[in-house]
Structure 1
Amino acid sequence: MTDMSTIQLTGQAEPGTAPRLAGRTLVVLVVLLVAQFMLAVDFSILNVALPAIGTGMGLPIGRLQWIATAFALPAAGFTLLFGRVADLFGRRRLFLLGLALLAVASLAGGLATDPAVLIAARVAQGLATAAVTPAGLALLTTAFPEGPLRERALGLNGALMSAGFTAGAVLGGVLTDLLSWRWAFLINVPVALAVLLIAPRVLAESRPEAAARERLDLPGAITVTLGLLALVLGLTEAGQHGWTHPAALPVLLLGTALLGVFLVVERRAAAPLVPPAVLRRPTVRLGNLIGLLAFLTETSLVFLLTLYLQEVLDFSALAAGLSFGVLGLGTVLGGTLAARAIARLGTRGALLAGGLAQAAATGALLLLGPGTGWLWLLLPATFVGGVGNMLVIVGFMVTATAGLPDREQGTAAGLATMTQQIGITMGTPVMSAIVAASAPAHGILTGIALAVLANTALVLVAVLASTRLKQRS
Structure 2
Amino acid sequence: MRRSPWATLAVLALAQFIVVLDVTIVNVALPDIQADLGFSAETLQWVISAYTLLFGGFLLLGGRMADLLGPRRVFVAGLLLFGVTSLVAGLAESPGFLIGARAVQGLGGALLSPAALAILTVTFAHGRERNIAMGVWGGLAGLGGTLGVVAGGVLVDALSWQWVFFVNVPIVLALVAVIPVFVPDTRHNENGPRGFDTAGAILGTGGLLAIVYAVVRAEPEGWGSAEVMGFLVGGAVLLVVFVAVEARSKAPLIPLRLFRSRALSVSSISLALNGAGFLSMFFLTAIYLQQVRGDSALDAGIHFLPMGAAAVLGAVAASQLVQKLGTRTVQLGGTVLSVAGLLLLSRADATGAYSTQLLPGLVLFGVGIIAVGVPAQIAAVSEVEHHEAGAASGAVTTMYQVGGALGLAIVTTLSVTRTTDALAEGVAQQQALVEGFQRGILIAALFAIANVVATILTPQLQPTADQLAEAAAAA
Do they fold alike, i.e. is TM over 0.5? yes
Deviates more, 1:266-275 or 1:123-132: 266-275
* Cα separation, 1, equivalents of 2:336 and 2:146: 24
1:234-254 Cα shifts (integer Å, max 9, x gaps) = 455457877566654532332
Correspondence for 2:259: 279
Amino acid of the structure 2 residue aligned with 1:472: P
Change (3 A) 1:147 1:423: farther
Q: Under a length normalisation based on structure 2, what TM-score does the superposition of the two structures give?
A: 0.76
Correspondence for 2:236: 256
* Cα separation, 2, equivalents of 1:286 and 1:131: 27
5 Å-filtered alignment, 1:246-395, equals: 248-305=228-285, 314-316=293-295, 318=297, 319-365=299-345, 372-373=352-353, 375-376=355-356, 378-395=358-375
Percent of aligned pairs with the same residue?
35
| 1:79 aligns to 2:59 (yes or no) | yes
Displacement, 1:84?
2.7
SS at match of 1:380: helix
| 1:457 aligns to 2:457 (yes or no) | no
Structure 2 residue runs without a partner (length 5+) = 426-431, 465-475
Change (3 A) 1:302 1:46: closer
* Cα separation, 2, equivalents of 1:446 and 1:128: 35
5 Å-filtered alignment, 1:394-413, equals: 394-401=374-381, 408=388, 411-413=391-393
Correspondence for 2:15: 35
* Cα separation, 2, equivalents of 1:45 and 1:245: 35
Change (3 A) 1:174 1:310: closer
Deviates more, 1:433-442 or 1:385-394: 433-442
Correspondence for 1:89: 69
Displacement, 1:99?
0.7
Residue pair 2:336, 2:368 contacting (<8 A) in 1 also: yes
Q: Which of residues 408, 427, 441 in structure 2 aligns to 1:428?
A: 408
SS at match of 2:358: helix
* Cα separation, 2, equivalents of 1:430 and 1:39: 25
Residue pair 1:287, 1:400 contacting (<8 A) in 2 also: yes
Q: Under a length normalisation based on structure 1, what TM-score does the superposition of the two structures give?
A: 0.77
SS at match of 1:352: helix
Change (3 A) 1:156 1:401: farther
Displacement, 1:208?
4.6
Deviates more, 1:439-448 or 1:180-189: 439-448
Change (3 A) 1:277 1:425: same
Amino acid of the structure 1 residue aligned with 2:305: G
SS at match of 1:324: helix
Residue pair 1:155, 1:394 contacting (<8 A) in 2 also: no
Deviates more, 1:112-121 or 1:206-215: 112-121
Correspondence for 2:463: 472
Displacement, 1:471?
4.2
Structure 1 residue runs without a partner (length 5+) = 1-6, 8-22
Displacement, 1:128?
0.2
CA RMSD of superposed structures (Å)? 4.1
* Cα separation, 1, equivalents of 2:124 and 2:385: 13
Change (3 A) 1:464 1:153: farther
Displacement, 1:131?
1.2
Q: Which of residues 96, 101, 104 in structure 2 aligns to 1:124?
A: 104
* Cα separation, 1, equivalents of 2:95 and 2:354: 43
Amino acid of the structure 2 residue aligned with 1:451: I
Residue pair 1:292, 1:419 contacting (<8 A) in 2 also: yes
How many pairs are equivalent? 448
* Cα separation, 1, equivalents of 2:368 and 2:390: 27
* Cα separation, 2, equivalents of 1:149 and 1:337: 22
Q: Which of residues 61, 75, 91 in structure 1 aligns to 2:39?
A: 61
Residue pair 1:29, 1:140 contacting (<8 A) in 2 also: yes
Change (3 A) 1:184 1:411: same
Residue pair 1:300, 1:431 contacting (<8 A) in 2 also: yes
* Cα separation, 2, equivalents of 1:204 and 1:403: 32
Residue pair 2:272, 2:400 contacting (<8 A) in 1 also: yes
Residue pair 1:134, 1:417 contacting (<8 A) in 2 also: no
Displacement, 1:291?
1.3
1:405-439 Cα shifts (integer Å, max 9, x gaps) = 67645533432332232132122332345546667
Residue pair 1:86, 1:410 contacting (<8 A) in 2 also: no
* Cα separation, 2, equivalents of 1:401 and 1:207: 24
* Cα separation, 2, equivalents of 1:271 and 1:93: 21
Deviates more, 1:238-247 or 1:87-96: 238-247
1:132-162 Cα shifts (integer Å, max 9, x gaps) = 2333345456666888877766665555444
Displacement, 1:341?
3.3
Displacement, 1:98?
0.4
SS at match of 2:253: coil
* Cα separation, 2, equivalents of 1:357 and 1:81: 35
5 Å-filtered alignment, 1:169-180, equals: 169-180=149-160
Displacement, 1:261?
1.8
Correspondence for 1:230: 210
| 1:414 aligns to 2:406 (yes or no) | no
Residue pair 2:17, 2:144 contacting (<8 A) in 1 also: yes
Change (3 A) 1:61 1:290: closer
5 Å-filtered alignment, 1:43-192, equals: 43-49=23-29, 59-62=37-40, 67-68=47-48, 70-110=50-90, 121-140=101-120, 157-192=137-172
Change (3 A) 1:446 1:361: closer
Change (3 A) 1:137 1:355: farther
Change (3 A) 1:41 1:261: same
